[in-house]
Chains A and B, each alone.
Chain A
Amino acid sequence: MTQAKAFAPRLDALAEMVAFTAAAFEREGIDKRLLGTVDFVLEELFTNVVKYGRRTSGTSGASDAPVSVRLELQAVVGGVQASLIAEGVADFDVTRAPPVDTSLPIEQRQPGGLGLHLIGRLVDSIEYDYQVSQMRSRVTFRKTSA
């Protein structure tokens, strides 16, 4: 059964999202060892929407906040599938973020971009979809206890 909930597009909604995810894992009997990774990926996707997802209106130039952010979670064989859906956002394919060279010496390391780089390595699969007419993005990922 899919567990779903909408969240306000604000960083202070993260705690609520964490609580919802933990409860969903409990209700669906999903392996709790996956929770840390799922939280990491969801936080990265969510904060990207909150910080960078605003789409600029055509003529006025004003920024419009996303209408909503919705999380859907369901158990799959061996793990979990999660989707983060945001409406009113710009098209940004998180699966195409540039790679980060994690072998660089510290003098050359930059803090940015690491999150999107890591999520591709933490999950079994990740897909991005964008519907222009509704300004809606959907990121779906799977994580199993391999």
Chain B
Amino acid sequence: MLKIGFGPQGLVVIEGRLDAAQAATAQGFLDTVNGSTTLDCSALEYISSAGLGVLLKTQKRLKANAGQLRLTGVSRHVHDIFRYAGFDQIFEIAPAA
């Protein structure tokens, strides 16, 4: 399951598994985000290529309007996926402590 929503201090918090079945839900929420924001990924257990597509599409839209999505609390496994996908070149990523 996936939960995504606004958390404290204007962060967007994502929890659970961002897979193909949940991608539309995540995209629908992130389509409402504008400007620059931080996505707290500390409870993101898993991301698939569908989830990568959601983040990429969002970042393209935000950057085209001088904003961006920053990713924080990224687990080691998810960070590996991001690096293989070249996301470390197009996102600011802060790994989990």
Contacts and interface: CB of A to CB of B under 8 A. Distances in A.
Interface in B47-97: 48-50, 52-53, 56-57, 59-60, 63-64, 77, 81, 84-86, 89-90
Contact of B60 (A44, A106, A112): A106
A107 B90 CA distance: 10
A11 B77 contact: no
A36 B46 contact: yes
Given A11-B20, A47-B20, A39 B49 contact: no
A7 interface: no
A61 interface: no
A15 B63 CA distance: 33
Contacts of A18: 17, 19
Interface residues of B, number: 23
Contacts of B60: 106-107, 109
A132 interface: no
A86 B97 CA distance: 41
A14 interface: yes
A118 B63 contact: no
B21 interface: yes
B49 A44 contact: yes
Given A47-B50, A106-B90, A111-B53, A118 B84 contact: yes
Contacts of A14: 19-21
A105 B91 CA distance: 11
Contacts of B89: 102-103
A115 interface: yes
Nearest to B52: A114
Chain A to chain B: the 3 pairs with minimum beta-carbon distance, closest first: A102-B86, A115-B49, A111-B53
Given A106-B63, A115-B49, 4 more contacts: A15-B21, A18-B19, A104-B86, A105-B90
Interface of A: 11-12, 14-15, 18, 36-37, 39-40, 43-44, 47, 102-107, 109, 111-112, 114-115, 118, 121-122
13 contacts: A12-B21, A14-B21, A43-B48, A44-B48, A102-B85, A103-B86, A106-B60, A106-B63, A111-B53, A112-B53, A118-B49, A118-B84, A122-B84
